[in-house]
Amino acid sequence: MHRLGGVGLAAFDRQRESQRSFAELSTELSKTQIDHLHVQLTQFRSALTHFASNHRDSIRRDPTFRHAFQQMCSSIGVDPLAGPRRGGWWAEMLGMGDWQYELGVQIVDVCVSTRERNGGVIELGELVRMVSKLRGVENGVVTEEDVVRSIKTLQPLGAGYEVIDVGNGKKMVRSVVKELDEDQATVLAEAQMEGGRVVEETLVTRAGWTRERARAALENMLLRDGLCWLDAQDEQHGKAYWVPSAMRWDE
């Protein structure tokens, strides 16, 4: 049997010795690798800094360049706005975050000021036009892509800003929280079956809700969202809710 390090007591010493040297070598190797990575990272960082300082203005001003830059970022898996710090290192370096947030504020401005007229839903092209007008820039300086990206940065605010694809290549931006929650969807489905009428009882018996849940869902739709009407003369229950969008109208 071949024994590493030979036979006898001395073999133990020799084995210990070689283990130590392997460990030393490994430490040295990792250290070299880390040093090497550090150098690379420093180089990368300085290249980025260089890129950022060189192209910062172009990125902010030129939509074509900005588009190319965004594509480059996404192809190498870097989100220019992401990062551990606020806005991210990348974003800070480029001033990209500020630009995007600024655009976000203007989007909110346009959406809120037109809400009365459009009920909180605006066509994307229209929004781009109005934001451009607000910024005092010509059409084409701010692109739809920019606006969509800015809207994504608004998402953590929870204000319900969302881009909806309505088909035919048309996109709309919704600025009110009109998304129906699951309970509201249930109420609507029940209303649809009853020609628009819903009472607490229906939801309790058919949907298996508690009375409190039924009442809360209906009262929210009535008072908060204005999605249904109150009928205080209901023959059976005294109080019924009518969902106009589920009612049958001849006109």
Partner 1 sequence: MGTTDGHAGFRLPSIHAAHAFFTEQPNPTTQSVFTDNWTRLILSYARHRRLFVIRVEDAEVAGGDWDEILRNERINRRVLPSYLNSLISAMVSRNLAYYEPPKQTRSVILLWRLPEEWADVLHSWGTATGQLNTILTLYEITDPPVPSPLSGIPLSLLRRTITILTRSGRAQLIGVADGEGVRLLTGGK
Nearer to partner 1, 99 or 241 (CB): 241
Nearer to partner 1, 94 or 221 (CB): 221
- Write the interaction track for partner 1 spanning residues 153-192; mark x where CB under 8 A is met and - where it is not: ----------------------------------------
Among 42-50, 92-100, 135-143, 223-231, the segment contacting partner 1 (CB under 8 A): 223-231
Q: Is 236 in the site for partner 1 (CB under 8 A)?
A: no
Give the binding-site size for partner 1 (rule: CB under 8 A): 19
CA torsion sign for 177, 182, 184, 188 is positive
- Minimum CB separation of residue 213 from partner 1 in Å reads 20
Measure the CA–CA gap between 106 and 114, rounded to whole angstroms. Answer: 12
Run of H or E residues at 232: strand 229-234
Q: Is 240 in the site for partner 1 (CB under 8 A)?
A: yes
Nearer to partner 1, 86 or 224 (CB): 224
Among 45-53, 69-77, 152-160, 224-232, the segment contacting partner 1 (CB under 8 A): 224-232
- Minimum CB separation of residue 247 from partner 1 in Å reads 7
Measure the CA–CA gap between 90 and 45, rounded to whole angstroms. Answer: 10
- Kindly identify the residues of this chain, within the stretch 24-43, that bind partner 1 according to CB under 8 A: none
- Minimum CB separation of residue 242 from partner 1 in Å reads 5
Of residues 25, 37, 180, 223, which one binds partner 1 by CB under 8 A? 223
How many residues appear in the chain?
251
Buried b (16+ CB within 10 A) or exposed e, 139-148: eebbbeebbb
Nearer to partner 1, 162 or 219 (CB): 219
- Going by C-alpha positions, the residue among 93, 160, 80, 70 that lies closest to residue 121 is 160
φ and ψ at residue 174, rounded to 5 degrees: -100, 130
Structure tokens at 122: 């605006």
Nearer to partner 1, 129 or 239 (CB): 239
- Minimum CB separation of residue 229 from partner 1 in Å reads 3
Q: Is 234 in the site for partner 1 (CB under 8 A)?
A: yes
Q: Measured over all CA atoms, what is the biggest interatomic distance in the chain, rounded to whole angstroms? A: 105
Run of H or E residues at 240: strand 238-242
The DSSP annotation for 148-166 comes to HHHHHHHGGGTS--EEEEE
E-strand ranges in 94-222 read 121-123, 162-167, 170-174, 197-198
Of residues 226, 238, 245, 246, which one binds partner 1 by CB under 8 A? 226
Please report, as ranges, the residues that interact with partner 1 according to CB under 8 A: 197, 222-223, 226, 229-235, 240, 242, 244, 247-251
